Amino acid sequence: NAGVTQTPKFRVLKTGQSMTLLCAQDMNHEYMYWYRQDPGMGLRLIHYSVGEGTTAKGEVPDGYNVSRLKKQNFLLGLESAAPSQTSVYFCASSYATRTGTEAFFGQGTRLTVV
Amino acid sequence: GENVEQHPSTLSVQEGDSAVIKCTYSDSASNYFPWYKQELGKRPQLIIDIRSNVGEKKDQRIAVTLNKTAKHFSLHITETQPEDSAVYFCAARNNAGNMLTFGGGTRLMVKP
């Protein structure tokens, strides 16, 4: 099993450009998440999905859009990149349980906006 | 929404000493509290978790305690080793089960 795979691993964008980050999981998880990690600020939730065709806003959704057309994929889009979006982005997925279960993370995407 | 605070932000200990990292959460309905370890340049990985119906859980040198009344949980690492050096994150999951909120992280340095 590959687990959770993110593409690309690194990307440099110019201000105003757009891009899409792809997250794919092969564990048949219902829940998928996008986080950003900035120094000293931990992992902040951007958007999440509780199932195919559903998305919801997290703590810091502004400037991002997401789609979950297939259960195994969760896409994060930046329509007009800004330097404030320079960060490391992590995708994660987990089963849907009432009592909580492990979230598995991808390897991260380091994005620099210049 | 849920707010998770984590202290300290950095912690330096001598090899063999114990390390304690503390977290507080705001939503009394949260029911699942995992701890993740992130080595430099790597992805976060689960090291231990605790559910709201349990007060303490141990796994070899690692233990987690939960005080639901105080909305407080802690990670305890005994007999620390250099390979324990990493950033540790606590998290809390809301009762609806769909959001996992992380603390700001603790950078643990174990000096040989």
SS3 string, B9-25, reads CEEEEECCCCEEEEEEE
**With contacts defined as CB-CB under 8 Å, which chain B residues touch A46?**
none
- In this complex, do A102 and B51 lie within 8 Å of one another by their Cβ atoms? no
Q: Can you give the pLDDT at residue A1?
A: 63
Using one digit for the tens of pLDDT, what is the confidence trace for B45-83?
A: 999 999 888 899 999 999 999 999 999 999 999 999 999
| Per-residue CA distances from B56 to B9, B50, B64 (Å) | 23, 7, 6
CA–chain centroid gap for B100, Å, is 13
B34: exposed, middle or buried (C-beta count within 10 Å: 0-12, 13-18, 19+)? buried
* Confidence bin at A37 (pLDDT 50/70/90): very high
Q: Can you give the pLDDT at residue A97?
A: 76
Q: Would you tell me how many other CB atoms lie within 10 Å of the CB of residue B86?
A: 21
| Per-residue CA distances from A41 to A83, A87, B90, B91 (Å) | 17, 11, 12, 13
Strand, coil or helix: B83: helix
Q: What mean pLDDT, rounded, does chain A reach?
A: 94
Q: Which of B82, B88, B86, B28 is nearest to B64 (CA)?
A: B88
* Confidence bin at A102 (pLDDT 50/70/90): confident
**With contacts defined as CB-CB under 8 Å, which chain B residues touch A94?**
100
* Extended beta strands in B1-112, E state: 4-7, 10-14, 19-25, 32-38, 45-51, 56-59, 62-67, 72-77, 86-93, 100-102, 106-111
- In this complex, do B99 and A45 lie within 8 Å of one another by their Cβ atoms? yes
| Average pLDDT estimate for B13-42 | 95
Residue of B nearest to A51 (CA): B98
Please answer whether residues A23 and A12 qualify as being in contact, where contact means their C-beta atoms are separated by less than 8 angstroms: no
**With contacts defined as CB-CB under 8 Å, which chain A residues touch B89?**
42-43
B43 → closest Cβ in A48, A99, A106: A106
